[in-house]
Chain A
């Protein structure tokens, strides 16, 4: 008998204590080395940052309801969109899936008791809190107005806001990313359960591994760039300022060397979540496992070679532009491989439309639009017309919100029963997923048209003939906002009043579904031995679905 005990025929003894009940003092949380508790603290923290970033987004959309800058003046508007970007990108999008879902699930999915370096894991959370706290403090002192990209000379010669304080916050937060990435890589290499070979790893783990590579190879560069910025400002060493021998475009090279791969730090884990959802809710082995796994690695590698497509109109050499444009087309290939394989997985699958799957299907449509419009922007001629317009804003949000945030929400809904042991309301979950999808499209699709018509981003006012589409966009943002607040309500409600989820509410073969919900502190009562392939449905891997279904029904009732 293999170790499919939790779901198979063998009924195991329920653990007396789970990770939530193993200590209830503040100290037991703040000094915990349990990856699951650290993940929960990350969940609360990134959600808080998401809400703050969302409030700035609401302010931006309200301002753009009318053509005149009547809600806030231009300087305030500059700060609003900068702070929206800083909070969302550095403190929500980058850490959310790796630090919350990755932290919670990666050790369980590979059959380990914890991450390889638990203390380093806790340290990364503290770095995140310190960096986030510093950035928030700077925002409260007066904020920053450079745009989230901190381009020179806005951040140097002409800076009159709290650039260095926010920069220091991002610098410290970068160490959190590096430590998380390092921890994941070491864990995957050294902590896999017996039988858990590389090609039996869930694709979520492959995606986290690829993301971790980007984190540890790219993040030091943004740290060094911020350091160089500080050196120039404090010591007047000519690095970016041409008046003292520097070059402002060098800042863009260094910034985008990290920040373009950072886009993959954000989206790759989301793709990992979607691979899990598509296969599991189609109840079918994923099509092209190896291709999806290696396409994650390919995205991580090629993602480092395309940063110059952010600089086509910056004064960058046209030859460099040609190279970057070509490589941008190349990096679309591994993303397309994933899309095709997901679609092939759905084909003739036994698809169920539970809430997480609604998010996964939404992801496929939205990421497709986001990805393809990226090719428009990567084309060296067309991009001249589209640069710095709302087309870029729409493209970016289709990838980041339509891709990453949707995947994150899908993942949270999917693993919530495992994390908490409680089931949320499927009815409200589906309503919320649909509101998010409709609200998102209503918000951002008009922005493609606005951008193509020439509306520039980062202005508080615009010509009156563009108002109708802006009203659509603001109305859509309201729907999106409602859709995003709803999960907070019904998920918190489920903590107190939700039905017990059972160990395997979705009837799935992955290792995380073969332990209790919520899991015990050491994840498994005994070391699992993996004798089945990833995404194998059926009895041959010890997965007696009928028996599991009967047992879980008994638990729920």
Chain B
């Protein structure tokens, strides 16, 4: 029942090599630089917290590259994909239920 088949390893070999790894690394470096400069510009004129959202978007993109290529999820079986997606889903639960507290604190009929 091994999840890992020789074909998979062969495919990884075909898809990734040193230049490609370096290319992904460069994308991560660019993302970091972009995060820095985005933080120096006040984007609150779009909506409050836009800077945070942008920083999170860049971070999410970088993380996706790391997972898909450095961690080889892209060539992995469906079960690994499911595990990766489930982790994000759980993170989303944590954020969503925590933020429901912050967004509704002291509002509506319960203003006290």
Contacts and interface: CB of A to CB of B under 8 A. Distances in A.
On whether the two chains bind one another, the answer is: yes
Nearest to B93: A304
A320 B86 contact: no
B93 A320 contact: no
Contacts of A308: 97, 101
A249 B103 CA distance: 14
A91 to B, nearest CB: 25
Interface in B95-112: 97-98, 100-108, 110
Contacts of B110: 317-319
A320 B1 contact: no
Nearest to B110: A318
A192 interface: yes
A486 B26 CA distance: 64
Interface in A310-345: 315-320, 323-324
A22 B38 CA distance: 62
B104 A190 contact: no
B104 A317 contact: yes
Interface in B20-71: none
A189 B94 contact: no
A319 B104 CA distance: 7
26 contacts: A189-B1, A190-B3, A192-B1, A217-B90, A253-B94, A253-B101, A254-B94, A254-B98, A304-B90, A305-B93, A307-B97, A308-B97, A316-B101, A317-B102, A317-B105, A317-B107, A317-B110, A318-B104, A319-B104, A319-B107, A319-B108, A320-B97, A320-B100, A320-B104, A323-B97, A324-B97
Q: Report the contact-size class of chain B (Cβ under 8 Å from the partner).
A: 20 to 34
A253 B100 contact: no
Contacts, number: 56
5 tightest CB-CB pairs across the interface, nearest first? A320-B101, A319-B104, A317-B105, A318-B110, A317-B104
B100 A305 contact: no
Contacts of A41: none
A316 B90 contact: no
B55 to A, nearest CB: 15
Contacts of B103: 317
Interface of B: 1-3, 79, 86-87, 90, 93-94, 97-98, 100-108, 110
B9 to A, nearest CB: 16
Given A318-B110, A319-B104, 14 more contacts: A190-B2, A190-B3, A249-B101, A253-B101, A254-B94, A254-B98, A257-B94, A304-B93, A307-B97, A308-B97, A315-B105, A317-B100, A317-B106, A318-B104
A189 B90 contact: no
Contacts of A316: 101, 105
A475 interface: no
Contacts of B87: 217
Contacts of B90: 217, 304
A308 B94 CA distance: 11
A324 B94 CA distance: 13
Contacts of B108: 319
The A interface is mostly helix, strand or loop, or mixed, namely helix
Contacts of A221: 94
Contacts of B107: 317, 319
A191 interface: yes
A22 to B, nearest CB: 27
Given A217-B90, A221-B94, A317-B105, A189 B100 contact: no
A250 interface: yes
Interface in A506-530: none
A253 B97 CA distance: 9
A284 B46 CA distance: 66
A387 to B, nearest CB: 17
B1 A317 contact: no
A69 to B, nearest CB: 36
A249 B2 CA distance: 45
A317 B101 contact: yes
Interface string A278-312: 00000000000000000000000000110110000
Contacts of A250: 98
B104 A217 contact: no
B7 to A, nearest CB: 17
A94 to B, nearest CB: 19
A463 B41 CA distance: 60
Interface in A135-192: 189-192
Interface in A242-271: 249-250, 253-254, 257
B61 to A, nearest CB: 21
A318 to B, nearest CB: 4
A319 B100 CA distance: 8
B12 to A, nearest CB: 19
Nearest to B108: A319
Nearest to B101: A320
B97 A190 contact: no
A412 B79 CA distance: 34
B10 to A, nearest CB: 20
A253 B103 CA distance: 14
Interface string A340-380: 00000000000000000000000000000000000000000
Nearest to B112: A318
